[in-house]
Structure 1
Amino acid sequence: MYYLKAFLNSFYKFDWLHAQADNSKKAANYVILLILLLSFVTSVFLSTIVPNKLRDLRNEVLSKVPAFEATLVNGSLSVTQLEQPFLYEDAEMSFGVNTNTSTEDFNFDTFVEGKDKDILYLTSSNIYSYDSVTKIKNVLDYDKEINKSFSKESFIKFTDNFLNNYKLFFAIFLIISFVGFSVFKLVNLLFITLLVWIINKNSETNNFKFSQIYTIGLFAITGPSIIVAFLRIFNYSIPFLYSILSIMILMIVTSKKYSSLELEEKNIETDILK
């Protein structure tokens, strides 16, 4: 029940946030639960969107590829029912197949020359690749221990089985999201805390310890996290919005106003005890 109240209070109760400065253990537990929640929602969203987009991309590419049958035996690839050399190109990539040529007859350096896109080219004995960003070329031999046949139809069936495995996509995205959110939010909060601590140190604001500001921040990032996540659902983002909101909240919470309120409460308690 505490963590549900903490979730709600973190949005707007700045006096409550101020009072959490020394509540580091609960803050650590809370931020783990918050990141799990964000990771869960992100994974549900991505595991329903990404497979469909990949399927559409596959269908778009394969619609331009005629039926084929390929066989890999003892490190040698042969392709039938496909007019060769075959070449598919779009704005970002180039894919070619020519198993009727040998390594001696094919010059990949010449093929790549003048092309500013990623390239994958298959010959009877090698796989050639080129990364347009790093300008790195790679040549791989086929594994001689793998003997296998496949076709356009079997490729579609295999990818359908993979793309329909939503549980696998969810698990993958959950792990990636949790690790990514954890690293980003905790490290980002360190820099935000340092900035707020320096500002407080050089002003008339109550001098919180670095650890106290960081503890408050573990709760205070709730609002910015939810707002940014909501905007991204609609494919909209504002640069540095998360950091700006987090800094603003921490500046308000650690301001003189809330320090004065805390001092008044302590004075009242002292008067009552007298």
Structure 2
Amino acid sequence: MPTLRALELLVAVLDHGSLAEAARRLHTTPSAISHQLAALERELRTPLLHRLPRGVQATAAGRAVEADARRAVEAAAAVTRLGRAVAAGSAGRVRVACGETLTAPLVAPVLTRWRREHPDVVVELAEFVSADTLAAHLEAGRADLGVIPRPGSWTGEVHLVGREEVVAVVPPGHPLAGATTTTVADVAAHPVVGLTPGNGLDRWLTGLAADAGTVFDVVVRTRNASTAAHLARAGAGVAVVPVSALGGDPTGVVRFTPPLGRDVVVLLPAGGGDALAGRFLADLLAGGAPALA
């Protein structure tokens, strides 16, 4: 198998017309080039160059292999450029796993900026309802970083973006409408729009109700917190959702006292991520957690 170095030397000699000039350009010696090209000719079992008193010329075999030799050298140079660009965080691919409600307020601004500032980087986005499912996806190596509420357990790196407020959304004309604040116990006294069992937010809210000595009267469930907020505004009941689920709409929102909130974090695998994941992480942390408008 011809070595890349031998092909590089062959191309250089053909470009410059002599071993001496090629050696000068490549900072080596004519004898070193001659030795490598002789080995290449033995490998191919045919002469590639006519050695003339003043320079060299390609043989028929040399002319035949020249195009492929150039492609091999150019491909190797492209591999080097791409590898270095990826290492520097200016090219490549970053796979982002994200909780559904966090995509628009937290990840989308970073994605938009990266499309403008890092056109050679491909960002792949996968969305999840469950923080635990997302964490399992990341742990399986199918994503480079995850953006979610803090999961129950994680063996890799955890970077805190901030604390996201959780609020009640009440229908128009509801007894809680217009209230300055409310409590978990007050909400539990009314029909509630709940989330699908197994959802991390559902488990957390169920625990809050238990701590308050009550249970939520769930009349309808949905897998998506944003849908829960829409159902509440439509009159289905009271929804308890993170502010990222509001879509920027404060209609019907009542804050809790004491305030409720959850940590929004970025997860990286154990040992951290590559340069691209690190740069994406830095931009996410700079943006902070979603806040109530």
Instruction: Give the TM-score taking structure 2 as reference length.
Output: 0.21
**Structure 1 or 2: more strand by fraction:** 2
- Higher Cα Rg, which structure: 2
Higher share of residues assigned helix: 1
Task: Please give the TM-score of this superposition, normalised by the length of structure 1.
Answer: 0.22
